[in-house]
Homo-oligomer: A and B are copies of this chain.
């Protein structure tokens, strides 16, 4: 059994990308998040809102994509107590020390001992699509965009792609 993982040749350019056609705008931006703990939740809502407003899209969608296998993006409430509960749930659902094959040098060439991080990220998700209306991100009262570091601390990238119809009055 091969110990290696399929890898991609190159990553998309960092920074802002943009295109437009017939009133439709597509704008991409990258957000860098520096994490400090092995497991850590960060509220990135305000940063996403900024990208949305800068795009001048009035009605459309925004796709959020984690650029990493062990870093997730999802929505929930931003409260320290709830974040402690999320961490506790992830630790109970995926046992860090359960003799995962991904952590076994006889079967895997990855030496980060992070099988748990891959599995927890898989449960949370790497892709989140939100809506834009009236030029702003659509969010319920308590909804915040959260990213979850599962194998930190590291520097992480979240890519934000806005697509929609521009506000012609701007």
- Find out whether the CB atom of A69 lies under 8 angstroms from the CB atom of B76: yes
Cβ-based interface call for A101 (8 A): yes
Q: Are B61 and A161 in contact (CB under 8 A)?
A: yes
CA distance A166 to B8 in the complex (A): 24
Q: CB within 8 Å of B: which residues of A? A: 1-8, 11-13, 17-24, 26, 28, 43, 45, 58-61, 63, 65-69, 74-82, 84-86, 88-89, 93-94, 100-102, 104, 107-108, 110, 115, 118-119, 121-131, 133-134, 136, 138-144, 157, 159, 161, 163-166, 168
Bound-state Cα–Cα, A68 to B84, Å:
20
Residues of the B chain whose Cβ atoms lie less than 8 Å from the Cβ of A2: 79-80
Q: In the complex, which of the residues A11, A24, A86 has the most CB atoms of chain B within 10 Å of its own CB atom? A: A24
In the complex the two chains form, what is the Cα distance from A104 to B79 in whole Å? 12
CA distance A133 to B152 in the complex (A): 27
Which residues of B sit under 8 angstroms from A5, Cβ to Cβ?
77-79, 82, 142, 144
The residue from B4, B74, B157, B164 contacting A163, defined by CB atoms under 8 A apart: B164
